[in-house]
Structure 1
Amino acid sequence: MERAKLSSIQFFLLLFMFEMGTAVVVGHMIAAKKDAWLSLLLGMGGGLMLFLISYGLFRYYPSLPLTAYARKIFGPYIGWIVGLLYTIFFLYVAARNVREFSEVLITATMPEIPLLVVAMLFVLTICYVLYLGIEVFARTAEILGVSLIFIGIIGNLFVYVTGTVDPNNLKPVLEYGWKPILETAFYRPMFLIFPFGEAFVFAMLFPYLNRADAVKKIGVASLIVSGLILSYNAALNVAVLGVSEVLRSPFPLLATVGKINFLEFIQRLDALVVITLLITVFFKAGIYLYCSVIGMVDLFRLKNHQQMIFPAGLILAFLSVMMADDMAEHTEEGGTVYIMYAAIPLLIILPVVMLLVAFIRHRLTK
């Protein structure tokens, strides 16, 4: 790992924008329908539990990243394989995020631009900042985080001023009972994993923090803030568009902002959504890519991370384009292959097993 330290505010902003990621634009509310905002709150509660599991592992191994303490827990051979699985998984999820951003950008602003060109330019930008170091990446989060807040305020202001918000679209609450809400939060597609459970990737970054005692407090606060905003965003989309249009739209926020028409003068503010997604996915994909590279450096005992950033970035760009033929296939893969066969084992089952084994090892050592 490089010699770097992250401040508390940098950690808060990195985790906040990581959680926002593509979740702020992409809609996953088929089962819960108008009660998706409630499913998000329940998923946030489950995500907090998963974050506390990663924090528990950090307390046992405060100076080691995930790939290193996996070898301490499972032994050098099984632990190495576990670390490799996480390294590949991080790169795969980064590719999913790059693909979703590229699809939104092409849909909203540049329909004639090839998908590979958009993905390549975006990934190279991420690679350049990461090449300068994680501290530079974190300072960039401080700057762009302020811009993100400003864009959010402006966008919400115009949505309300335009008069397109109809709270009656959210009524009645719990129209279909708790079953679809619980299915959306914890089954398929599950908000427990996307986006809250994905914060387990920060187990690779915890050793960088300059205040280890503040990890729990700041991490929980960031998850709660991001969860409340995502829940509000889901409710706003339904209030503006209605349930049927939200279900039909692959990018509900884009459709919501597209309704803005203030005095027949301020229209077509799709760029606000694209800029928001650009900022959030820049950090989410960047964190995943950086953690994957750190995993490679740790597992293969390389001298530094810089030599691996651009090769890993090229793999990431091509993988994002090749993983699906279109957005429909990409979404279907996310609800089956990603959730069931990758995310649940690596973000729920293995962390729980690692924490139990680490607890037993430390008790036996004492």
Structure 2
Amino acid sequence: MRMDEKINVRQFTLLLTLFTIGTSVLITPSQLATLAKESAWIAASMSVFGGLLVLLLYLFIGHLQPHLNLFQHNEYAFGKWLGKLFTLIIVLFSLIGASTVLWTVGDFVIVQVIPETPLAAICILFMTIIVYGTKLGIETIVKTVEIFFPWIIMLLTIIVLFSIPSMDIKQLQPLWGQPISKVVEASIYELSISTFPLILLFVLYPSVLNPDSKGTRSILLGYLFAEFLIMSITVIAISVLGYKLTSHYVYPTYVMAERIEFIVLLDRLEVVIAISWILSIFFKLFIYFYISLIGISQLLGLKHYRPVTIPMGIIVIGLALIIYPDSIFAGKWNKETWVPLSIIIGVVYPIVLLCGSKIKSILRRNHRG
């Protein structure tokens, strides 16, 4: 499959930043508080450094074969059939990720905004927009990212700034009150939501970027900004609500937004702020869905992904309606299934790909010699 669309490094960085933020600002504080309690903010801080190392690994792999996308790189490193098997695994991972994100959007809207609405209606409406955007192409989507990015960040910043007066530093004590194993477990959980799935974006990097695009530094800064924002919201959630309430609420960030006293004339400001989360989740869901389309098109030998867009969209809707029966199961599934799955895809697979690619390059040089 040919990928003729091109984006620049700035657009890629903004897309990566929003993908990292995505669902993390909604669900991560609750799970971190459940696992690490008052030390959740330490776990969030640790994940910044761990995630940076993982991102450097992805960037290095991307530069090994800059003219090949990740799926083509699979076939280069492992051969045609084993490479296709790895591609199929990535496609299945993308579909699972897309369905979980779509369910999260539906559940959030039902729980917090319009509780009488059926989950299926929200999933169909949201996925219809995703399918339409995907048909327009990645170039159109990244231009949309450029338009909405400042507004998303501004609304998220409102939560941080206007929650500061309600902070109680005592809620963060005692320092290292939990065993290091629990803090590390919480940190890995955060990485499984925000960072390990970033390997999917490297289907686009650097093969879809303009030839003159050089921006490793800006990509790293974009990632650090996103992680810093997640860490800030986690710190504020724990210090404002306490770890018990934070772990109790499925979406504690929304509860924090409800408590913001901004301007008397502005009622239900939290709904306005929730728009920023839904927009960031939209772009995260788009990437999951878009990468699955590229992968399945390459497996089927199609020239373009557009013919399979609607059928794959229907599959994602169907999966979203059955993947989680409720939010309790969702939290348990994320910890027990998604974490090891994302480690395999986001850590083990890139290392195996790196080794396979290096061995293939050495064999080719020896053969030529």
Q: CA deviation at 1:146?
A: 1.3
Q: What do residues 323-355 of structure 1 show as CA deviations (whole Å, max 9, x unaligned)?
A: 121111122111112222x22222211110110
The answer to whether the Cα contact below 8 Å between 2:130 and 2:286 also exists between their aligned partners in 1 is yes
Answer yes or no: is 1:284 the counterpart of 2:299: no
The answer to whether the Cα contact below 8 Å between 2:23 and 2:193 also exists between their aligned partners in 1 is no
Please show how residues 1-366 of structure 1 align to structure 2 within 5 Å. 1-26=2-27, 27-29=30-32, 30-160=34-164, 163-186=165-188, 190-206=189-205, 207-210=207-210, 214-261=214-261, 266-340=266-340, 342-366=341-365
The answer to whether the Cα contact below 8 Å between 2:37 and 2:178 also exists between their aligned partners in 1 is no
**Residues 1:126 and 1:312: Cα distance change in structure 2 (over 3 Å):** same
**Which has the higher mean CA deviation after the structures are superposed, 175-184 or 4-13?**
175-184
**Which has the higher mean CA deviation after the structures are superposed, 201-210 or 47-56?**
47-56
What code does the residue aligned with 1:129 have? G
Q: CA deviation at 1:227?
A: 0.8
2-structure distance, mates of 1:15, 1:203: 10
What code does the residue aligned with 1:76 have? K
Q: What do residues 173-199 of structure 1 show as CA deviations (whole Å, max 9, x unaligned)?
A: 22225332122113xxx2232211111
The answer to whether the Cα contact below 8 Å between 1:260 and 1:267 also exists between their aligned partners in 2 is no
Q: CA deviation at 1:52?
A: 2.1
Q: CA deviation at 1:213?
A: 5.8
More helix by share: 2
2-structure distance, mates of 1:81, 1:358: 16
What code does the residue aligned with 1:21 have? G
Percent sequence identity over matched residues? 24
2-structure distance, mates of 1:194, 1:155: 21
2-structure distance, mates of 1:293, 1:316: 11
The answer to whether the Cα contact below 8 Å between 2:9 and 2:213 also exists between their aligned partners in 1 is no
Structure 2: 5+ residue stretches without partners = none
**Structure-2-length-normalised TM-score:** 0.92
1-structure distance, mates of 2:186, 2:329: 19
**Which has the higher mean CA deviation after the structures are superposed, 262-271 or 248-257?**
262-271
Structure 1: 5+ residue stretches without partners = none
The answer to whether the Cα contact below 8 Å between 1:36 and 1:231 also exists between their aligned partners in 2 is no
How many residue pairs are counted as aligned between the two chains? 360
The answer to whether the Cα contact below 8 Å between 2:6 and 2:209 also exists between their aligned partners in 1 is yes
* Cα RMSD (Å): 1.8
